[in-house]
């Protein structure tokens, strides 16, 4: 498969989401902190969306957004960066699978690469069935092709919206 040379900028998509302790503020701070990184450039940021929890229903609604960046960081270096920002945001998991969390930063797409690594699977395995990823992504990059799955616009059209709403700022 075609691979860009080491360090050549790749278009990547990050999913942001959380449902504890002022999640909209956490999402905004994560955006700023990513944008401040030397090897990251923001290309687009979606609206913030309010979405129903996927997983146990006895938890608050989520705030979700997606961010397109250009980065020269390699995939695992970008993952390290995302995890360090999650820890700065005091990421708390309450133990329960698919339970509430302060902030998740998911590496959804890394250029056109398909990655199967013990720490990282790209495209993100949940991407095609998560309205809180596809709807924000259809807002900023409807024509983007997801390796093996097709175009965002069509994927979003096929995915039930499950009551997702744009949050009024």
Q: In the complex, which residues of this chain contact ligand ROI (CB under 6 A)?
A: 17, 51-55, 62, 64, 98, 104, 132
**Alpha-carbon torsion angle 126, 151, 81, 39, nearest 10:** 180
d(CA 131, CA 136): 8
- CB of residue 28 to ligand ROI, shortest distance in Å: 15
**Active-site residue identified among 52, 91, 151, 153:** 91
DSSP output for 92-111:
-B-SSTT--BS-EEEEEEET
- CB of residue 66 to ligand ROI, shortest distance in Å: 10
3-state secondary structure of 80: helix
Nearer to ligand ROI, 74 or 92 (CB): 92
- CB of residue 108 to ligand ROI, shortest distance in Å: 11
Q: Is 29 a catalytic residue?
A: no
Q: Is 106 a catalytic residue?
A: yes
Q: Is 101 a catalytic residue?
A: yes
d(CA 139, CA 141): 6
- CB of residue 92 to ligand ROI, shortest distance in Å: 13
Buried b (16+ CB within 10 A) or exposed e, 1-19: eeeeeeeeebbbbbbbbbb
75-88 and 23-35 helices cross at what angle (nearest 10)?
A: 140
Name the residues annotated as catalytic.
91, 101, 104, 106
């Amino acid at each position: 498969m075609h691979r860009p040379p080491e360090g050549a900028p790749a278009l990547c998509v990050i999913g942001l989401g959380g449902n504890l302790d002022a999640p909209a503020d956490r999402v905004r701070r994560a955006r700023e902190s990513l944008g401040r990184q030397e090897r990251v450039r923001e290309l687009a940021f979606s609206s913030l969306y309010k979405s129903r929890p996927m997983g146990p229903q006895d938890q608050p609604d989520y705030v979700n957004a997606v961010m397109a960046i250009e980065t020269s960081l390699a995939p695992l270096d970008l993952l390290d960066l995302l995890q360090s920002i999650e820890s700065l945001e005091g990421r708390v998991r309450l133990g329960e699978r698919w339970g509430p969390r302060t902030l998740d930063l998911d590496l959804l797409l890394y250029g056109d690469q398909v990655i199967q690594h013990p720490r990282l699977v790209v495209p993100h395995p949940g991407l095609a069935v998560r309205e809180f990823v596809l709807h924000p992504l259809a807002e900023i990059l409807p024509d983007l092709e997801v390796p093996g799955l097709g175009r965002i616009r069509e994927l979003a059209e096929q995915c039930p919206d499950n009551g997702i709403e744009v949050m009024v700022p």
